Amino acid sequence: MYHVRQENLPFVGSSHEFVGAEQGNTGVSVFLFHGKPGSGPGPHRHPYDEIQFIREGRGVWTVSGKTFEGSAGDILVIKAGEIHSFKALVIHHWYNSTFTSVPASSKRTYKAVDCNAAAPAVLGKMQALLVS
């Protein structure tokens, strides 16, 4: 059993970071995003799936070249390799969970990309996961 309080997690950028390899030796990492309007990461991708649980607020996402708005109560599944970005429209809180088959890396893995040069992926897969 492992126990930690949110305020004792490292705060990097706009997130408290629970990194599984460092906290509890588990294959799950969770980032608790606390964003002010206009905050959020630019285009990037990961080698792992990402699930975002939006607790409060509203934001705009671009995933694989498709832009849409999300808000409290939405759950977003972003597949490994999909280019995505996010900007908060109002004060925003969400959980960003990543799951791996081996202990989660101690470093958050981002690969910044040029969305104009990148080939678009299929957003339909993500939408299908959200409605199933």
pTM of the model: 0.68
Mean pLDDT along residues 20-40 = 87
Residue 16 falls inside a structural domain: yes
Q: Structurally, how many domains does the chain consist of? A: 1
Residue 22 falls inside a structural domain: yes
Residue 18 falls inside a structural domain: yes
Q: What is the pLDDT of residues 55-99, one digit of tens each?
A: 888 999 999 999 999 998 999 999 989 999 999 998 878 777 766
Residue 4 falls inside a structural domain: no
Dmax over CA atoms of the chain, in Å, equals 46
H or E element in which residue 61 lies = strand 58-63
Spatial separation of the C-alpha atoms in residues 61 and 44, rounded to whole Å: 12
| CATH number of the domain residue 69 falls in | 2.60.120.10
Residue 84 falls inside a structural domain: yes
Spatial separation of the C-alpha atoms in residues 122 and 78, rounded to whole Å: 11
Q: What is the pLDDT of residues 5-16, one digit of tens each?
A: 999 999 988 888
The mean predicted confidence, pLDDT, of the chain is 76
Residue 51 falls inside a structural domain: yes
Distance set, CA 118 to CA 58, 84, 123 (Å): 27, 11, 14
Domain that holds residue 49: 10-131
Taking a C-beta distance cutoff of 8 angstroms, is the pair 89, 59 a contact?
Answer: yes
Residue 2 falls inside a structural domain: no
Residue 19 falls inside a structural domain: yes
In terms of C-beta distances under 8 Å and separation of at least 24 residues, what long-range contacts does 105-109 make, across chains too? 105/19, 105/21, 105/29, 106/19, 106/21, 106/22, 108/12, 108/17, 108/19, 108/29, 108/31, 109/46, 109/47, 109/48
